[in-house]
Amino acid sequence: MAPSEETLTDTQRSVLEYVQEHLMKDHRPPTVREVMRHFKWNSPQSARKHLLALEEKGYLEREEHTARGLRLSEDSSVGISIPVLGKVAAGLPLLAEENRETTMVVDPSMARGGRSLFALTVRGDSMVNAHILPGDRVIVQQTSHATPGEIVVALIEGEATVKTFRKTSNKVVLEAANPKYDPIVVTQDKDFRIIGKVVGVFSPR
């Protein structure tokens, strides 16, 4: 539902601004109790009342059965929500619900030109010299093509990996940014495809 023309109260506007700031800073929404503590209210019911009003007026949407189920409406210009993927299982479509861990909010400019984005949590130290650390989230533009030298997310035998893409006339090489790891030479017998290229990195630290 698009935000209505109905005027927000001062308190509702303050709550909306807090939710937006929390999403942009932490890339996840606040809980009801975090809203309550921020505004020094004595009961979570006060927070729920104002959040519900923002939902009814189309500024917020909610996913059921989760403490951090708030998200900005799709018409919000403050940020866009993208899926955060866990391990990508063989045989499943990239953005299948089984692969999704949560969502995060990124600046709308990252999706300029109609780019489709997702995030992937990094689970190793092979790209530390490219300033991509374990636990970071890489923001990925979906594409099956990349230019040599770009950092890509590739699927090899159904497993996702983040590496620098290199290519010669007869082979593809995925290069780590850590001398502990040898390059991965992609042979023709491997099930290999590029699923996106890294356009940003978010560190939760």
Domain residue limits at 116: 80-202
| CATH assignment of the domain containing 191 | 2.10.109.10
- For the chain, what is the mean pLDDT? 82
Q: If pLDDT is split at 50, 70 and 90, which confidence band does 1 have?
A: very low
Kindly state whether residues 159 and 191 are assigned to the same domain: yes
Kindly state whether residues 111 and 156 are assigned to the same domain: yes
pLDDT, residue 114, reads 63
Q: pLDDT per residue over 43-86, tens digit each?
A: 999 999 999 998 888 878 877 666 677 776 655 555 677 888 87
27 in a structural domain: yes
Residue with tokens 């923002």: 54
Position 14 pLDDT exceeds 50: yes
Cα 187 from chain centroid? 31
Kindly state whether residues 60 and 114 are assigned to the same domain: no
Last residue of a domain, one of 48, 72, 96: 72
Kindly state whether residues 54 and 120 are assigned to the same domain: no
Kindly state whether residues 95 and 68 are assigned to the same domain: no
Catalytic residue among 40, 163, 180, 190: 163
86 in a structural domain: yes
* 81 flagged as catalytic: no
Q: Which two tokens stand for residue 186?
A: 């992609």
Domain count, the chain: 2
Rg (CA), the chain: 20
5 in a structural domain: no
168 in a structural domain: yes
Kindly state whether residues 130 and 198 are assigned to the same domain: yes
Last residue of a domain, one of 28, 44, 72: 72
| CATH assignment of the domain containing 14 | 1.10.10.10
Kindly state whether residues 67 and 96 are assigned to the same domain: no
Closest CA to 198 of 133, 117, 95: 117
Kindly state whether residues 120 and 178 are assigned to the same domain: yes
Catalytic residue among 49, 126, 144, 197: 126
Position 89 pLDDT exceeds 60: no
105 in a structural domain: yes
Angle subtended at Cα 31 by Cα 30 and Cα 33, rounded to the nearest 5 degrees: 120
* 171 flagged as catalytic: no
Q: SS3 string of the chain?
A: CCCCCCCCCHHHHHHHHHHHHHHHHHCCCCCHHHHHHHCCCCCHHHHHHHHHHHHHCCCEEECCCCCCCEEECCCCCCCEEEEEECCCCCCCCCCCHHHEEEEEEECHHHHHHHCCEEEEECCCCCCHHHCCCCCCEEEEEECCCCCCCCEEEEEECCEEEEEEEEECCCCEEEECCCCCCCCEEECCCCCEEEEEEEEEEECCC
Last residue of a domain, one of 72, 97, 116: 72
Kindly state whether residues 65 and 20 are assigned to the same domain: yes
| Calpha distance 71→120 (Å, rounded) | 19
60 in a structural domain: yes
2 in a structural domain: no
Kindly state whether residues 84 and 183 are assigned to the same domain: yes
| Calpha distance 185→167 (Å, rounded) | 10
Kindly state whether residues 182 and 98 are assigned to the same domain: yes
Q: What is the mean pLDDT of residues 26-40?
A: 88
1 in a structural domain: no
Q: pLDDT per residue over 128-180, tens digit each?
A: 999 999 888 899 999 999 999 999 999 888 788 899 999 987 889 999 999 99
User: Model pTM?
Assistant: 0.63
Q: How far apart are the first and last CA of the chain?
A: 34
Kindly state whether residues 93 and 59 are assigned to the same domain: no
